[in-house]
Amino acid sequence: MTLIRSIIATLTLAAVSATALAEELKISTQYPDGNAVLNELRRAGNAIKEQTEGRVDIRYYPGGVMGDDQAVQRKIRIGQLQGALVQSGALAGSYRDSQVLNAPLLFRNYDEVDAVREQLAPEIEQGFADGGWQTFGLIEAGFAYGMSQEPITSLETLKAQKLWLPANDPFSEQIARAFDINPIVLNIGDVLTALQTGAINAIVAPPVGAITLQWYARVDYLTDAPFMYTYAIVALSERAFNKLSEQDQAIVDAQFRAASRTIDRQTRQDNLRSFAALKTLGINILDLSDMDRAALEAESVAATSLLIDRNQFSDDIYQEVMSILDAEREM
C-alpha cells in the first residue's frame, strides 16, 4: 500500500508540475465570438494545445472586451495579455514602415497588392520582429472605398463631404489632413446613426464591412477607386513567445500562419462577393474617367509626400513599393 501511495503521489506531482509549466497565451481581438475569423483562430488554438500536449493553451478575448488598441498594448506590456489580432496600424509605434501599404490610392487592383506583398511581406514581418513582436503573416482586410450619399468623382467633391473616419486611427486621420479634409471622427458603433441623422454623409470602408454593419443602406454611391488597402496581423509579444520551447514555438508559428493564410483568402473572397452584392443592393458604382483617376492619383502622391515628411513611413520603403508597382504595371 505504501508503494502504491508513493506511485500515486509521484504521478499527481508530475501532473501538477506539467500544469504549472503550461503557458497560457491570452489574445485580444475586436472580432465577436462566432465570427468566421475567430472560429479559425480557435481551430488554430485547439491544434496548438493538442500538438503541444497541453504545454501551450490559447485563450481569446473577443468583441473588444479588453479595450481599444492602446489599452490592449498596455495590457500586453504588463503581461495581462500576450498578444492580439489587430489592424497593422495599431503597431505602427513599433514599426512605422508597416503603414506604407495603407498609403492613399496606392493600389489600383488586387494583382498589384499581391505583387507588393510577395516581395515586401518578409521585410514587414522582420520590422515587427525588430520592434518586439512575433507575427505570422499579413491578413488582408481589403480595399476601403469611398461610399457616399452624393457622387464623389474628384478631390473637390470629396472635400465637400462630411466624411467619417474611425476613432483611435491616427494614420487615417493623417491621410485626411494630407488631403486637406477635415474628417468627422466617431466610434464604429456610432456610424449608422450618424448616417441616418446626416451628421456624416460619406464613409471609407471595405465592402464586407459596409454590408455587415448595414451602412450600405444609408449611402447611394461607391467610387470605384480603392482609397486605401487595409490589413491585420496576429501579433504575440516577443517576451511571451520566447518563453516557449523551440519545439512549441514551431507549432505555434505553423498553426497561426496557417490560420492567417486561411483568413486572408476568405476575406478577399468575402470582399469581392460583397462588392458585387452592393450593385444588386442599389448602390451606384461610379467609374472614374481616366482624367479624374489621374488627377486623384496625382493628389495622392502629394498627400503621400506629406505623410513621409510627417514620419508616418520612410521614403525608402515607399520607393521600394513604387519600384514593384512600376514593374507590375509595365507587364
Q: How confident is the model at residue 21, as a pLDDT? A: 63
Return the C-alpha cell found at 58: 490559447
Coil vs helix vs strand at 59: strand
Is the pLDDT at 14 greater than 50? The verdict is no
Q: How far apart are CA 322 and CA 327, in angstroms?
A: 9
Is the pLDDT at 5 greater than 80? The verdict is no
Is the pLDDT at 153 greater than 60? The verdict is yes
The residue ranges of every structural domain in the chain are 2-330
Q: For a pLDDT cut of 70, what percent of the chain falls above it?
A: 94
Which residues is 237 bridged to in the sheet? 133
Is the pLDDT at 155 greater than 90? The verdict is no
- Side chain identity, residue 185: V
Q: What is the mean pLDDT of residues 36-48?
A: 96
Q: How confident is the model at residue 141, as a pLDDT? A: 93
Q: How confident is the model at residue 167, as a pLDDT? A: 79
Q: Does domain 2-330 have CATH number 3.40.190.170?
A: yes
Q: How confident is the model at residue 29, as a pLDDT? A: 92
The pLDDT confidence band at residue 10, using thresholds 50, 70 and 90, is very low
Give the residue from 173, 101, 104 showing the smallest Cα distance to 140: 101
- Which has the higher per-residue pLDDT, 159 or 239? 239
E strand or H helix at 285: strand 284-286
- Side chain identity, residue 138: L
- Looking at every residue in the chain, the average pLDDT score rounds to 91
Q: What is the mean pLDDT of residues 35-42?
A: 94
Helix 315-330 × helix 290-309 angle, to 10°? 160
Is the pLDDT at 134 greater than 90? The verdict is yes
E strand or H helix at 117: helix 110-130
**pLDDT tens sequence across 272-323:** 999 999 999 999 999 988 898 898 899 999 999 999 999 999 999 999 999 9
